[in-house]
A and B are shown apart, each in its own frame.
Chain A
Amino acid sequence: MNAVVRKQMSIHPDVMDLLNNQIAMEMKASASYLAMASWCDQRELLNSKDFFYKQAEEEREHAMKIFTFINDNGGAAVSPNVTNVNNDFESLRAVYETGLEQEIAVTESIFKIFKTARKQDDYITEVFLQWFITEQSEEEDTFRSILDVFDLMEGMPLKMIDERFPKE
């Protein structure tokens, strides 16, 4: 049975499990952004609504990227359960803060997979994850920039703050 797994699968089985968890995390993030988009849409916060609809799509694309990567490398991608999505927010700022927290959690999770891939000599996954690390750095920056606008425009009407956000 020497090296049988290596012959059938190019990625390490432990790394595959973590990647499957990551798919679930990205899909949960996508569903969560959809809830945020709906919250904004109902309150006519047009820029925020567009932003979160786009974020929801992007997170799904990330999940799909990992999903096909696992299967392309001989592994078994698992379609995840997405439950307990929060649809209730106290303010627009709280929506963005939740978004940033979510992005940070995703980044941490990717770092964990990256470390495991490196430890297990899984070079294929390590290279694959480099794109995600750059992407996460950009995502976190976007959220932090928006939260800076909140600080700069403190006390202004919500609609006016929303109009200052970058248009998609």
Chain B
Amino acid sequence: MNYESDIEYCYQIKQATFCKYVLITPSKEVQLTFPQMLELRRKIYDLTTFNTLNEIINTDNFVLLFVADKQHLIYLDIPQLLKLKEEIELFFLDFNPVLV
């Protein structure tokens, strides 16, 4: 069983239109606006600090997360949480400076 590739395709973020994005989860596709994306980023970053990750691992070992203004609830175990963080980092990496 290729565990890595299983995780890889669990959570993905894609752009649907100019200001609409889609978070693809194993069970559903969640439409997100840009402010909702920013809120998801904030939540995921908060959940993936060293202390918070430790706390999750030592308790439930998963998190339930509201996304898209509390319209959807998603389940994330630790590998999925870290994968989603990577996906978000990749999404926000693309800040091109103004070319002069």
Contacts and interface: CB of A to CB of B under 8 A. Distances in A.
A161 B33 CA distance: 57
B95 A1 contact: no
Interface in B38-81: 38-39, 41-42, 45
Contact of B42 (A5, A76, A121): A76
12 contacts: A1-B14, A2-B94, A3-B96, A4-B15, A4-B91, A5-B92, A7-B18, A9-B34, A17-B45, A74-B34, A75-B38, A120-B97
Interface of B: 14-15, 18-19, 34-35, 38-39, 41-42, 45, 91-92, 94-98
Contacts of A123: 98
Contacts of B39: 76
B96 A6 contact: yes
Contact of B38 (A1, A7, A76, A120): A76
Interface in A47-82: 74-76, 78
Interface of A: 1-9, 12-13, 17, 74-76, 78, 120-123
Contacts of A12: 95
Counting chain B CB atoms within 10 Å of each CB, the highest count among A5, A12, A74, A78 belongs to A5
Contacts, number: 42
A1 B98 contact: no
B57 to A, nearest CB: 24
Contact of A13 (B14, B18, B95, B97): B95
- Per DSSP, chain A at the interface is loop
Contacts of A4: 15, 91, 94
A34 B40 CA distance: 34
A3 B94 contact: yes
Contacts of B19: 8
Contacts of A9: 34, 95
B18 to A, nearest CB: 7
